[in-house]
Amino acid sequence: MATLPLSIAIQACCFNCGITESSKLTATNGFRHRDKAMHGFVKLDAERKLVFREVVQNINENLPRDHNLKVYAKSQVSVEPMEQRFSTGTETEEIDKVSTYLFRTEIGDVVNVFVRKRNAKYTVNIEVPSSHLSSNDRRLVLRWGMYRADSSCFVPLDFKSSTPNDTTTTLETPLIQTSSGRFTLELEFEAKQIPFYFSFILTSPADANVSDMEIRSHRKTNFCVPVGFGRGYPGPLGLTFSNDGSMNFAIFSRNAESVALCLYDNTTAEKPALELDLDPYVNRSGDIWHVSFGSAWSFVSYGYKFKGNLLLTNKNNFDEGHVLLDPYAKVIAKSIPNNHGTGLKYLGRLCEEPAFDWAGDVRPDLSMEKLVVYRLNVTRFTEHKSSQLPTNIGGSFSGLTEKLEHFKDLGVNAVLLEPIFPFDEQKGPYFPHHFFSPMDCFGPSRGPVSAVNSMKEMVRKFHANGIEVLLEVVFTHTAEGEALQGIDISSYYHVNEVEDLEARNALNCNYPIVQQLVLDSLRYWVTEFHVDGFFFINASSLLRGFNGEYLSRPPLVEAIAFDPLLSKTKIIADCWDPHGMAPKETHFPHWRRWAEVNTKFCNDVRNFLRGEGLLSDLATRLCGNGDIFSDGRGPAFAFNFISRNSGLPLVDLVSFSGVELASELSWNCGEEGPTNKTAVLERRLKQIRNFLFILFVSLGVPVLNMGDECGQSTGGSPAYSDRKAFDWNALETGFATQTTQFIAFLSSFRKRRSDLLQKRNFLKEENIGWYESDQTPPRWEDPSRKFLAMRLKADEDEVNQPGDESSHSWGDLFVAFSAADHSETVVLPPPLEGMGWRRLVDTALPFPGFFSTDGEPVVEQIVGLFAYEMKSHSCALFEARSL
């Protein structure tokens, strides 16, 4: 194995600890051990000055001989289990902690090394049995050095000998033989010198004609012990703090051959102030690398370097010199890129998570069938100047809190946030590179701590107003080159060239360490941020096995379903793929716990309203999507939507339908793009009302999309990147006024008629009826049919309930949908005795008359006959009420 002299030139990999004052290095002929104090101290004073990574030492007493110290580039030593003991306080000086290391030598004897923290100093005590030496030679010398980065890069130790012009490069200190025959030595170091590895060999000086005898470990390597830091613990992963302020670092990497902890003393520094190699024989347990420190000293942030041939693949351009973010870091901050263009973007902060007072927070804990969800982008929702918020509040979690009344006005009781994890700013929030903290741009000061605190404040305020907070999360892939690739690409990612998974940086979600990462992240957001549920983007990829195959019982999906904590939250599979910007249909295993975003609802409703599709498809969506959720779940597990944050927004669905938009299933209502034609504009307005109406009267959970209530457009572009900031001035327009009021009405009506519209289970067959406009049975498979009516029958025991606080008792609902381009005379079934029909909604009527809480009575044409004329492309709602 190659050796390196301690006198090597100072290189970039050598540390820079920033010490400028003098410190004492003391060698003694005795040491304090346990509760015995040895006598006869002989001190060798060395003045150590560090200037720009250079150490100058002045020795006041000549060393016996001058040598060039050589140490191996690897610290592969045999170390017996380390014992940590605490002093009983009987010594004259306080000893805080003792770490014991027991080495085996080449000849089978043992060397004991004790590392102590005494007051503000650290001592290293070496004990060597005399059996190492012959009876004729009773001298033993310690050759030693210190390093922090890899063992080939040493702390430079340049000495001035007794001869002014002779500079020695070997630090040798004689051991003293005690009365018991053992050799001992104590070296003392100032606290400012730690942390470092203490590396040494033992030599027995011989005659001039005979070479020195050198004693090394049984592996023929140097003895090596850590000073100023501990072995650490393999769990929990990430940075954790003890009550005494000590820190433990733990990170997974199965295939790394070496790991270095990099510490920074300045948030703007390009390079770490200190790099500390982790000894694989001391600081590794299984696949977990770990180390502990008593305090952070002056360091403020940290990262890791990984080396090893197995970390590289043919398609991985990872640079081993790149410092990587701890995947479990809870508080992270941006750093300054280095001169090589591969610089850091984020580092973990050496601080505890900010404390937050959750006293009084009560989760709304709404059942899923009661939800009305509003999807939004945190930044875009309030960053526009029309929000009239201060610049530091706009686009942040605090901005959402300021606009809380908007959600209440709509009748929304759950907000769904687009991904808030730190992400690739070029590709957008659906390409994350971290999973344990919110993006710092969402905080009022655009800092990590403010992002954490403001999100918690937002969640608490929303909970206080009965609104749940749901998160979109992406665990199936990461951003390019900024996440886990350099830590252990073959463990975290699909690298078997399965289809295009490797090119997509697809995470191997059902691999044990990735599964643990996902579960730990989800639990963290629930416990620390009180999040109420999650939408799993690209959920079909959660079903992939190690080799890309689809699993019938994917371990991660099952683990989430049965996790004691997560199973109490809302877990929703969303098979929309951010790469293809399209959903992937799949049979998702659910264990009666997983809900799903219902893409079929969107497609079938769009098809019906543009005059295509079958009546049977619409009926299936209206009554709870039995083709998907009749497998032990129910309609409440369907999250229905008309538009989302990719694809065309609602107003564009009725304004653009070019060939390039065929997959959007849109219809421009007679003219492409903006128009001044009254007939086209009226038709578009009716269609927007129809979409919203069907969304709210269908069984399942309605999901609204940001901006649809005020008619925000992308100009016909389905691209996510073309989505604009929410324009609060648009809420003052006539369109926004009537649309927001209509949504509020539908939310209120849905809640009032929860007996029929907020069902956890499917309606009984006898509680639902289907009709053509003349009360004949529908021709389900006739594509020319454009009209469908549905009667929802209230249970008799729920009609005319005694003690009803309302001024009216209500009964059945009759709902009619027409996609025809002509009027229809609709015959309503006769209501129950003592009741009459009242029209609550007709989307063809002008505002404000097209919806009404009290409703307009439907005149009985002849005895027992109720009829109503519906215009083209409209929907109507009737409710039976007591006369």
Q: Is residue 386 part of a domain?
A: no
Task: Of 285, 343, 290, give the one whose Cα is nearest residue 319.
Answer: 343
83 burial (CB, 10 Å; 0-12 / 13-18 / 19+) is exposed
The helix-helix angle for 678-697 and 734-752 (nearest 10°) equals 20
Chosen domain end from 294, 317, 349:
349
- Inter-residue contact 275 to 323 (CB < 8 Å): no
Q: Is residue 18 part of a domain?
A: yes
Q: How far is CA 724 from the centre of its chain?
A: 25
Question: Each residue of 797-845: pLDDT tens digit?
Answer: 655 444 444 445 789 999 999 999 999 999 999 998 889 999 999 999 9
- So what's the pLDDT on residue 503? 64
Q: How many domains does the chain have?
A: 3
689 burial (CB, 10 Å; 0-12 / 13-18 / 19+) is buried
Task: Of 420, 231, 239, give the one whose Cα is nearest residue 325.
Answer: 239
Task: Of 271, 290, 293, 268, give the one whose Cα is nearest residue 281.
Answer: 290
- Inter-residue contact 54 to 16 (CB < 8 Å): no
- Inter-residue contact 353 to 449 (CB < 8 Å): no
- Inter-residue contact 763 to 699 (CB < 8 Å): yes
Token look-up 């060939």 returns: 659
Q: Is residue 47 part of a domain?
A: yes
Omega before 195 within 30 of 0, i.e. cis: yes
SS3 content of the chain, % helix, strand, coil (to 5): 20, 30, 50
> Which amino acid is located at 234 in the chain?
P
How far apart (Å, rounded) are the C-alpha atoms in residues 113 and 815? Answer: 85
How far apart (Å, rounded) are the C-alpha atoms in residues 833 and 318? Answer: 77
Chosen domain end from 349, 367, 391:
349
251 with 224, same domain: the answer is no
Q: Is residue 462 part of a domain?
A: no
Q: Is residue 179 part of a domain?
A: yes
10 with 139, same domain: the answer is yes
51 with 181, same domain: the answer is yes
Question: Each residue of 517-576: pLDDT tens digit?
Answer: 999 999 999 999 999 999 999 999 999 998 889 999 999 999 999 999 999 999 999 999
- So what's the pLDDT on residue 317? 52
Token look-up 């605190």 returns: 453
How far apart (Å, rounded) are the C-alpha atoms in residues 772 and 880? Answer: 19
Helix H, strand E, coil C: the string for 226-269 is EECEECCCCCCCEEEECCCCCEEEEEECCCCCEEEEEEECCCCC
Beta strands in 697-850 (DSSP E): 701-705, 768-771, 787-792, 810-818, 824-828, 835-842
Which tokens belong to 553? 């019982």
CA distance readout (Å), 420 to 197, 461, 467: 40, 18, 18
Task: Of 90, 111, 123, give the one whose Cα is nearest residue 24.
Answer: 123
- So what's the pLDDT on residue 266? 87
How far apart (Å, rounded) are the C-alpha atoms in residues 289 and 255? Answer: 11
- So what's the pLDDT on residue 769? 96
How far apart (Å, rounded) are the C-alpha atoms in residues 178 and 460? Answer: 67
Chosen domain end from 294, 316, 349:
349
433-446 as b/e, with b when 16 or more CB fall inside 10 Å?
bbbbbbbbbbbbee
Q: Is residue 841 part of a domain?
A: yes
Average pLDDT value for the chain: 83
Q: Coil, strand, or helix at residue 679?
A: helix
Give the residues across from 263 on adjacent strands: 274, 302
Task: Of 155, 433, 454, 152, give the one whose Cα is nearest residue 307.
Answer: 152
- With a CB cutoff of 8 Å and minimum separation 6, the contacts of 417 are 376, 377, 378, 469, 470, 471, 472
125 with 145, same domain: the answer is yes
How far apart (Å, rounded) are the C-alpha atoms in residues 369 and 702? Answer: 9
Q: Coil, strand, or helix at residue 838?
A: strand
Helices and strands (DSSP H and E) totals, the chain: 14, 48
- CATH number where 342 lies: 2.60.40.10
Q: Is residue 855 part of a domain?
A: yes
213 with 326, same domain: the answer is no
- So what's the pLDDT on residue 361? 96
Element (H or E) spanning 203, and its range? Answer: strand 196-204
Segments of the chain scoring below 70 in pLDDT? 1-96, 131-138, 150-170, 206-211, 310-319, 336-344, 482, 497-500, 502-503, 796-808
How far apart (Å, rounded) are the C-alpha atoms in residues 815 and 838? Answer: 12
The CA-based angle 498-499-501, given to 5 degrees, is 70
Range of the domain at 149: 3-230
Give the residues across from 33 on adjacent strands: 36
**Residue 692, φ and ψ in degrees, nearest 5:** -65, -40
193 with 116, same domain: the answer is yes
Q: Coil, strand, or helix at residue 739?
A: helix
Q: Is residue 186 part of a domain?
A: yes
Task: Of 361, 370, 638, 354, give the one whose Cα is nearest residue 526.
Answer: 361
- So what's the pLDDT on residue 500? 64
223 with 314, same domain: the answer is no
207 with 141, same domain: the answer is yes
Pairing of the two strands 54-59 and 158-160: parallel
275 with 133, same domain: the answer is no
How far apart (Å, rounded) are the C-alpha atoms in residues 56 and 10? Answer: 13
**Residue 852, φ and ψ in degrees, nearest 5:** -155, 140
> First vs last Cα of the chain: how many Å apart?
99
- With a CB cutoff of 8 Å and minimum separation 6, the contacts of 336 are 268, 269, 270, 343, 344
> Which amino acid is located at 37 in the chain?
A
**Residue 425, φ and ψ in degrees, nearest 5:** -70, -15
183 with 306, same domain: the answer is no
69 with 197, same domain: the answer is yes
Beta strands in 6-160 (DSSP E): 23-28, 32-33, 36-37, 46-51, 54-59, 70-72, 83-85, 95-104, 110-118, 121-128, 141-147, 158-160
- CATH number where 786 lies: 2.60.40.1180
223 with 324, same domain: the answer is no
